[in-house]
Chains A and B, each alone.
Chain A
Amino acid sequence: MHEFLARVDVFSNFNESELNTIVRITNRRLVKANEILCQEGETGDSMFIVRDGVIRVMRKAEAGSDLILARLSSGNVIGEMSLVDEEPRSASLIAEGEGLVYEIRRAAFEDLKDAMDPAAYKLLREISRTTCRRIRNVNQQVYAYIKNPDSLFVPEVENSTIKMSDNIKQRINRFLSLFGRSEA
C-alpha cells in the first residue's frame, strides 16, 4: 500500500513517516461487482483511492436513466472534500466489477488532526490545492457566462448516449438542433 500511495498525486510530497501515518489510517476495501461504496445524498465521511478495478461515479437522473460522470481506475482519488466538511455526496460510487479501494475515513483523519500530526495537515493542504484549482475553474465558467450569456456547455448525442462536450461556448440552440436534426 505504501508504495502505491507514494505514487498517488495527493501524497507525492509526503515523506516516509507521513506516508506510514496515512497507511495506518487507510482501510482496504475489497469490492464486488455492483457494490455501492457510497450513495448520492448521504453525508460523505470518507475519501477513496482506487487501487484495482473500475469505480463508476453515477448520478441519478429520472425514470431509470443514469448519468455516468466518470469511470475511475487505479490511482484516482475521489470524495476528498468529505474530509473537510460534512456535506451530502453529490454522486454515488459503484464498483463495475471486483476491485480494491483504499478508504480514509473522516473520523480517523480527525484523530490525526487533533494529534497535530503533520500528515493530516499535509493532506489538508493538498486537498485545498485541488479545491483552489476547482474554484478557479468554476469561477471561470461563471464569468464566461456573465461575459457571454449564450455560453453554456452543450451535450452531443452519440447513438444512445449523450456525450458531454467540454465546450461550454457553443450556443444552446445547437443542443436543440442536435435533438432535432442530424445535420445541424
Chain B
Amino acid sequence: MVNEDTVRRHRDFLKTFAAFKDFHPNELLLLARQLKEKRYEKGEVVCSEREPGDSCFFVVFGRIGVYKELLDGRNELLAHMKSGNVFGQISLIDGQPRSATCISAERSLLLELSKESFDRLFDAGESFAFRLQELFSKAMVRQLREADDKLSSMVKKARTMEIDLNEVFLDMVGALKSVEELSINLDDVTYEIAEGQKRDLSAKAKCEEGYSSKRKDTAVNRAVKPGLRVGEYSVGKSELISDKPTLKDKP
C-alpha cells in the first residue's frame, strides 16, 4: 500500500521543480502516487548503458554521475544529476535500452517513474500526464539540438585540426546538422554544383595532374590539386598542413 504521508512528501518535493511550477498540487499528487522511492549509496549503479530500461528518475537529493563507455572501456563522465534534475526520459518515452550508465556519486534519493505508469495515465487522459509529456518533448528537442551542435562543432574542430577543406566541408557539416534535425537519410543528400562549374569537379584529368604536380610531398598536396575548385570553393591550398597518410599509402 502506498503511504499517503510519503506521497505528500514526494509531492512537496516535486513542487520545488522549476519545471512543475505551473502544475496544480493535485496533479503533482497524482504524479507522486506513481513514483517509487529509490535509495542509492555511493558507487551504486542506477542504470547501465545498453541494458533495458523504461523509466525516468527525479533526483531528490544526492548526486548521480552519468557516464558513457569509450572504446578502451573507460567511462567518460558526461554530467552530474543533482536535486531537481530528471534523467532517463528517453527510455521512458521509447522503451529502448539506456544510452548511458548512471552511478551514484554519493548517498542519493531518487523517485522513479515507470513507462507503464506513465503510459497508463497518458492513455487515461490525465492532464498532468499530458503536461509531463509536453515537458519531456521540449526537453528532448532541446537535447537533440544541443547534441547536434556538439556534433557539428566536433566535426568542425576535427576539420581544422586535421585538414583544411574549406567551405565544401563546412557545408557538409551544416548538412549533417540538418540531417539530424530533419531526420533525413544521409544517402539522399546531394550536393549540386552550380552550372558552369561542373567541369572543374568532373575534370578527372585535372585532378590527376594535381596529384602528379611537383608540390611538397604532403598527403594533402598529393591528394588535392591546390586551387581545384568545386563550385566556388577552393579545395586545397598550397599551405595545407596535414601529413596524414592517404589510403593509397596503406598496404
Contact = CB atoms under 8 A, between A and B. Distances in A.
Nearest to B232: A63
Contacts of A69: 175, 178-179, 182, 184, 188-189
A83 to B, nearest CB: 9
Contact of B189 (A70, A134, A160): A70
B158 to A, nearest CB: 6
Contact of A116 (B71, B130, B175, B211): B130
B233 A63 contact: yes
A63 B231 contact: yes
Contacts of A141: 151
A124 B231 contact: no
Given A147-B71, A176-B223, A57 B184 contact: yes
A164 B189 contact: yes
Contacts of A143: 68, 70
Q: What is the size category of the interface that chain B forms with chain A?
A: 35 or more
Contacts of B68: 143, 146
B28 to A, nearest CB: 17
Contact of A78 (B151, B182, B187, B245): B182
A142 B150 contact: yes
B233 A180 contact: no
Nearest to A143: B68
Report whether over half of chain A's contact residues are helix, strand or loop; otherwise say mixed.
mixed
B230 A179 contact: yes
A59 B178 contact: yes
Contact of B192 (A67, A116, A129, A157): A67
Given A61-B231, A67-B192, A138 B246 contact: no
Interface string A158-184: 011111111000011111110111101
Given A145-B154, A166-B185, A138 B180 contact: yes
Contact of B138 (A62, A84, A116, A161): A84
A79 B204 CA distance: 39
Contacts of A146: 68, 70, 76
Interface string B129-154: 11001101110111111011011001
B235 A132 contact: no
Contact of A179 (B71, B140, B228): B228
Contacts of A85: 138, 141-142
Interface string B213-226: 00000011011110
Interface string A122-154: 001101111111111111011101111100110
Contacts of B245: 173
B90 A135 contact: yes
Interface of B: 68, 70-71, 76, 90, 93-94, 96, 99, 122, 125, 127, 129-130, 133-134, 136-138, 140-145, 147-148, 150-151, 154-155, 158-159, 162-163, 165, 167-169, 171-172, 174-194, 197-198, 201-202, 204, 207-208, 210-211, 219-220, 222-225, 228, 230-233, 235-236, 244-248
22 contacts: A61-B171, A65-B192, A65-B193, A65-B194, A65-B197, A67-B175, A124-B130, A125-B133, A128-B140, A146-B70, A153-B176, A159-B202, A162-B201, A163-B191, A164-B187, A164-B191, A165-B186, A173-B245, A176-B163, A177-B223, A179-B228, A181-B223
